[in-house]
Amino acid sequence: MASAPIIVWFRQDLRMTDNPALCAAVATGRPVIPLYILDQSSDGLRPMGGASLWWLHGSLESMGHHLQNLGAPLTLKKGAAKEVLGQLIAETGADTVYWNRCYEPGAIARDKAIKNTLQNDGLYAKSFNGSLLYEPWEIRTKQDKPYRMFTPFYRMVLSQGTPIQPLPKPKQIIPCDVPPKSDYLDDWSLQPTRPNWAASFPEFWSRGELGAQTLLSDFLNGGVAAYKTERDFPGVAATSRLSPHLHFGDISPRQIWASASTIEPTAGSETFLKEVVWREFGYHLLYYNPAMTTAPLQTKFNAFPWAKNDSHLVAWKTGQTGYPMIDAGMRELWATGTMHNRVRMVVASFLVKHLLIHWREGEAWFWDALVDADLASNSANWQWVSGCGADAAPYFRIFNPITQGERFDADGTYVRRWVPEIAGVSNQYIHKPWDAPKATLLEAGVSLGDTYPRPIVDHKVARKKALAALASIKQAD
């Protein structure tokens, strides 16, 4: 009698190498049904944004090819995961489901409910760690409490020694005799068409496992040496650009750590691995503070007098604030699905401190527009910039978009690329064109308020308002 198949339910682990759930299923010697469920409907789950869906299409397409080459086709299903799994089990006679864990609050609740249902029905379910170096419950303080500060968290991670080595790619997967019915990926319409706002994305990204491994190899053999000194300069290609690959699981943090450990240690590689741990810290915070996706970790900020200004919000989203560094970042986001990390901090600070618009508005826009939109990182980083999160930058630290530009984009390379209408302005005024003499602007073909907007707020006035707003909650506290 043939063995019942095992369903391997892929989620944020769209790869063959270092995939614990897949490797465990293959090791049983039983037939395997690789499954991906487009679950945008389960209670508590946050539907993916548009840029994430674009990325998902490419990663699923890549993984489907890999699975086909290993012998087992990818089954695609759309709907609530609990119902889809039940139907597939009935169709195939599968009695076991393996998956790698997700850590978003809605996913945790969904997975627990599914596991309980399967076990009550006499079936077997098992989950694995395929997304983190260490589980959130494995890194605790000496008082057995979760961490709220990054530096001691980082030290504790390093004290664990070398993370588990990545698992090899399976050599072969035994398929079912009769593969289950599958949706067609193109029928899911994950990629925009009319209008195709992602038309330029393929110029910047190669989605999928091979693209991730190539990016990592190129970075470790080139840019990582200068990473510490150059990563803050948006006009220089000095970052790894691995964040979307990590979110979708095209590559695992263990693969990154193991590969980085094979090169000669430098200040750059140490800083790079520290950023990998920063990602872990975001998941640690989310696991122990599931409300942080909408509520400030510092509760005094519940009383913060946020402003509502739709025209300012639209100007920020579309890169029309009149501040070149801000506008360059927001336009880079729209054109590429990403934004340089230094600029992310500056544009986020501008929204919450210059415009006094709630960080949740910015987080929602990033969720829809970023190819690396990640609930843990997005929430933790927005709260960090806003000054209301764990280990947060103090609220009174208000990034000056002019001096940030002059310091990190002194020659205007970044601004000129993304704000071409002021490309002719000299370095002296590229980050503050309103200070340029009229003759200088005329020569550069710039007419403020016409070809390029005037600043929507005055930096000094906005800073005073932000500090006054902070003082108001201090008094209330």
- The residues assigned a catalytic role are 275, 278, 306, 341, 359, 382
CA 215/CA 224 separation, integer angstroms: 12
Q: What are the CA-CA distances from residue 8 to residues 33, 45, 170, 229 (Å)?
A: 6, 20, 13, 42
Residue 458: partners with Cβ closer than 8 Å, 6 or more residues away = none
Q: What are the CA-CA distances from residue 420 to residues 9, 50, 333, 445 (Å)?
A: 46, 26, 15, 11
3-state secondary structure of 6: strand
Q: Decide: 48 and 375 in contact? Cβ < 8 Å.
A: no
User: How distant is the alpha carbon of residue 149 from its chain centre?
Assistant: 21
Q: Decide: 434 and 427 in contact? Cβ < 8 Å.
A: no
CA count, 13 A, side-chain hemisphere, 272: 29
CA 250/CA 16 separation, integer angstroms: 9
Residue 406: partners with Cβ closer than 8 Å, 6 or more residues away = 431
Residue 73: partners with Cβ closer than 8 Å, 6 or more residues away = 34, 64, 67, 175, 179, 182
Closest listed residue to residue 174, CA positions, set 420, 379, 2, 333: 2
CA 350/CA 253 separation, integer angstroms: 31
Closest listed residue to residue 420, CA positions, set 316, 335, 315, 314: 335
Supply φ then ψ for residue 216, to 5 degrees: -65, -45
Residue 294: partners with Cβ closer than 8 Å, 6 or more residues away = 360
Q: Decide: 55 and 249 in contact? Cβ < 8 Å.
A: no
Q: Which residue has the tokens 């009319």?
A: 194
CA 392/CA 96 separation, integer angstroms: 43
Biggest CA-to-CA distance, the chain = 87
DSSP 191: S
DSSP 167: P
